[in-house]
Amino acid sequence: MIAKDQPFELIDISAPKLGDDEAIVEVAGCGVCHTDLSFWHYGVPTRHELPLVLGHEISGTVVDGPENLIGKTVIIPAVMPCGECDLCKAGRGNICQKQKMPGNDFHGGFASHVVAPARYLAEVSDAILENHALTDLAVIADAVSTPYQVMVKSEIEEGDFSIIIGVGGVGIYGAQLAKIFGGKVLALDISQEKLDQLGQVGIDQTLNVSGMEIRDIKKAVKEKCREMGAPSNQWKIFEMSGTKPGQELAFALLGIADTLSIVGFTMDKLEVRLSNLMAFDANIIGTWGCKPELYADVLELVAENKLVIKPFTETFPMSQINGIFQQMLTHQSNRRAVMVPDF
C-alpha cells in the first residue's frame, strides 16, 4: 500500500536480520479483511508509516528462526501482545497497547514471506492438514478467532437466544461458533444468498431484513424467539456486519439483561439512547482481535470438524489483489478471499 485508494504495487524487500524472537514465515495464504479495506479505502491510519504491506490473516510455514519452529506449519495471530504490561498481566493481551499486528505495525501477509514474532505462532497439526489446506486456514487469524473470543467474552451459554447480525466474512464463523457454544441461533442479513449458506452448517433459522423497518424486524425477531423456544430475555446479540444500519438494529434489539457484542467496524457514527442500558440492566462489550492463547481452542474445533472453514473461503493469486479489493468495495463476493503468492 503506497497511499489511500492507490493500486497495490509489487516490490522487492530485502530480508532483515532476525532478532532473537523472530521467525520468517513463507506465506501459504493471506485472507482479505474489512480492516484491510479500512486502511486502504476508508482512511483508517496504519501505525507503520506508508508504504506498507497489508494483510493480517496469515498461514504459512516457518523457514527461518528458532530451530524448534523451522518446518512447522503455523497461523500468525492477527494481534500479538508484549506479554509484560498491565493489560497483558490482567488477561487482556488482545488489547495490549504495545501489541504488534501484521499489516499495521509491520509488513504483513500480502507477500511471499513475513517476519513475525516467533513466540506466538500457532502451530497447525498434521491432523488438521489431513482435511484442510493450509491456505484456507489463514482466515483463522481473524475471521474465526475474533468471533471465538467474543463468544467467550459474552458468556454465551446453552440455550441462549443468539442473534447474529451480518453473516458474511466474520459472521459466517460467528454463527457457527454461537451454535457450537450451545446458542439457539437466529441469523439476520440483507442478502438471502449469505443466509442460505448457513444451511451447510445446520443453521436454518434466518431472517432477511432487507427493506424492513426496525420495528418490524423487532416484531419478527420476537416471533422467531418464541418459535425456537428460546428465553425472552438475556439474549446474546452479535453485531458482525460492520455497518451503521447493522449497529443501529443491534442496539434497537437490546432488551432485558441482554448482552450486545460489537464485532464489526465502521467509521460511521450512531445516535443511540444509552439510558436503555440502565433501564434494561443490559451490557455492551467490544472485542479486538483474539488473545494468542485462545488459538489452540479454535484449532481444536477445526481438528474435530466442528467448525467448517472451506465452503466460505475462495483463493486467488496474489497478483489479482487490486481486482479483489475493488470487488470488496462493491460487495461482489459472499466468500472470504484468500490471496496466494504467485510471484
Cell 501505525, located at residue: 47
Q: What pLDDT was estimated at residue 88?
A: 96
Strand partners, 208: 189
Q: What's the distance, Cα to Cα, between the start and end of the chain in Å?
A: 17
DSSP string for 122-180: EEPPHHHHTTS-TTGGGGGGTTTHHHHHHHHHHT--TT-EEEEE--STHHHHHHHHHHH
pTM recorded for the entire structure: 0.93
Report strand pairing: 336-340 vs 22-31. Answer: antiparallel
Q: What pLDDT was estimated at residue 149?
A: 97
| Cα distance between residue 118 and residue 68, in whole Å | 10
Q: What pLDDT was estimated at residue 72?
A: 98
Residues 25 and 116: beta-carbon distance below 8 Å:
yes
| Cα distance between residue 155 and residue 146, in whole Å | 15
pLDDT (tens place) for every residue of the chain, 343 residues total: 778 889 999 989 888 889 989 999 999 999 999 889 989 998 889 999 989 999 999 999 999 999 999 999 999 999 999 999 999 999 999 999 999 999 999 999 999 999 999 999 999 999 999 999 999 999 999 999 999 999 999 999 999 999 999 998 899 999 999 999 999 999 999 999 999 999 999 999 999 999 999 999 999 999 999 999 999 999 999 999 999 999 999 999 999 999 999 999 888 999 999 999 999 999 999 999 999 999 999 999 999 999 999 889 999 999 999 999 999 887 767 789 999 999 8
* Domain 146-286 in the same topology as domain 22-142+290-340: no
Superfamily for domain range 22-142+290-340: Medium-chain alcohol dehydrogenases, catalytic domain (3.90.180.10)
The most distant pair of C-alpha atoms in the chain lies apart, rounded to whole Å, by 61
Domain boundaries, the chain: 22-142+290-340, 146-286
Q: Which CATH architecture has domain 146-286?
A: 3-Layer(aba) Sandwich (3.40)
